[in-house]
Amino acid sequence: MSRNTQWKVAGFGVSALVLIAALVLANGSPEVHETLSSARSDREEYVQLALAALRDADPTGELKYDPEQFLIQRIAPDGGLGMSLFLANFYREYQATPPERRGEVLARLGRAGVLPEAAATYEQARPLLRLVVRARDTFEAFSQQAGESAPVSWRPVGEVLAEAIVQDTPDAMRYVPTEELARWGISYEQARADAMANLRRMEAVPLRHLTLGVCAIFTNDSYGASRLLLDDVVRGCEVKGDPVVVVPNRDTVLITGADDATGLLTLAEAALEGVQAPRPVDGSALRLTADGWKPFLPGPKSPARSILENLAFTSKVRGYQDQTDRLRKQQEQEHGEVFVASLLPVKDAEGRYFGQTVWSNEGESLLPRADVILFVDATLGPDAPPVATVRWDLVVRDAGTLLMPELGVYPERYRVTGFPSKEQLQRWKADPTAMDVP
Q: What is the pLDDT of residues 224-245, one digit of tens each?
A: 999 999 999 999 999 999 999 9
| Closest residue by Cα to residue 413 from 311, 346, 340 | 340
Q: What is the pLDDT of residues 51-63, one digit of tens each?
A: 888 888 777 778 8
Q: What distance in Å separates the CA atoms of residue 47 and residue 65, rounded to the nearest whole number?
A: 8
Classify residue 228 by its DSSP letter: G
In sequence order, the 6+-apart residues with CB closer than 8 A to the CB of 161 are: 133, 134, 135, 136, 228, 247, 281, 282, 286, 293
Cis preceding-peptide flag for 368 (omega within 30 of 0): no
Residue 291 neighbours by CB distance under 10 Å: 6
Give the strand order in the sheet containing 214-218. Answer: 208-211, 214-218, 252-257, 243-249, 285-289, 292-295
Give the residue with greater pLDDT, 222 vs 270: 270
Question: Exposure pattern of 91-108 as b/e (b: 16+ CB <10 Å)?
Answer: bbbbbeeeeeebeebbeb
Confidence band of 14 (pLDDT split at 50, 70, 90): very low
* pLDDT at residue 376, rounded to an integer: 95
Check: CB of residue 45 under 8 Å from CB of residue 36.
Answer: no
Q: What distance in Å separates the CA atoms of residue 233 and residue 231, rounded to the nearest whole number?
A: 5
Phi, psi of 42 (to 5 degrees): -60, -40
Percent over 90 (pLDDT), the chain: 56
Least confident of 8-22, 134-148, 324-338, 415-429: 8-22
| Closest residue by Cα to residue 191 from 200, 181, 182, 199 | 181
* pLDDT at residue 53, rounded to an integer: 86
Say if pTM beats, i.e. exceeds, 0.95: no
Phi, psi of 36 (to 5 degrees): -65, -35
Least confident of 172-181, 242-251, 288-297, 309-318: 172-181
Angle at 79 (CA atoms; ends 77, 81), nearest 5 degrees: 100
* pLDDT at residue 115, rounded to an integer: 61
In sequence order, the 6+-apart residues with CB closer than 8 A to the CB of 58 are: 74, 110, 113, 114
| Closest residue by Cα to residue 274 from 235, 237, 245 | 245
Percent over 70 (pLDDT), the chain: 85
DSSP E strands in 136-260: the ranges are 154-157, 161-168, 173-175, 208-211, 214-218, 243-249, 252-257
Confidence band of 25 (pLDDT split at 50, 70, 90): very low
Q: Are strands 292-295 and 161-168 parallel, antiparallel or unpaired?
A: unpaired
Confidence band of 77 (pLDDT split at 50, 70, 90): low
Q: Please report, for residues 11, 173, 297, 402, 435, the alpha-carbon distance to residue 224 in angstroms, rounded to integers and kept in the order given.
A: 23, 14, 23, 44, 41
In sequence order, the 6+-apart residues with CB closer than 8 A to the CB of 97 are: 104, 105
| Closest residue by Cα to residue 374 from 346, 398, 351, 407 | 346
- Residue positions counted in the chain: 438
Task: Classify the phi-psi angles of 279: left when phi > 0, otherwise alpha if psi is within -120 to 50, otherwise beta.
Answer: left
Among positive and negative, which fits the CA dihedral 111, 112, 114, 115? positive
pLDDT at 1 over 50: no
Question: Exposure pattern of 400-432 as b/e (b: 16+ CB <10 Å)?
Answer: eebbeeeeeebbebbbbeebbeeebbebbeeee
Q: What is the pLDDT of residues 183-222, one digit of tens each?
A: 999 999 999 999 999 999 998 899 999 999 999 999 988 8
Check: CB of residue 286 under 8 Å from CB of residue 253.
Answer: no
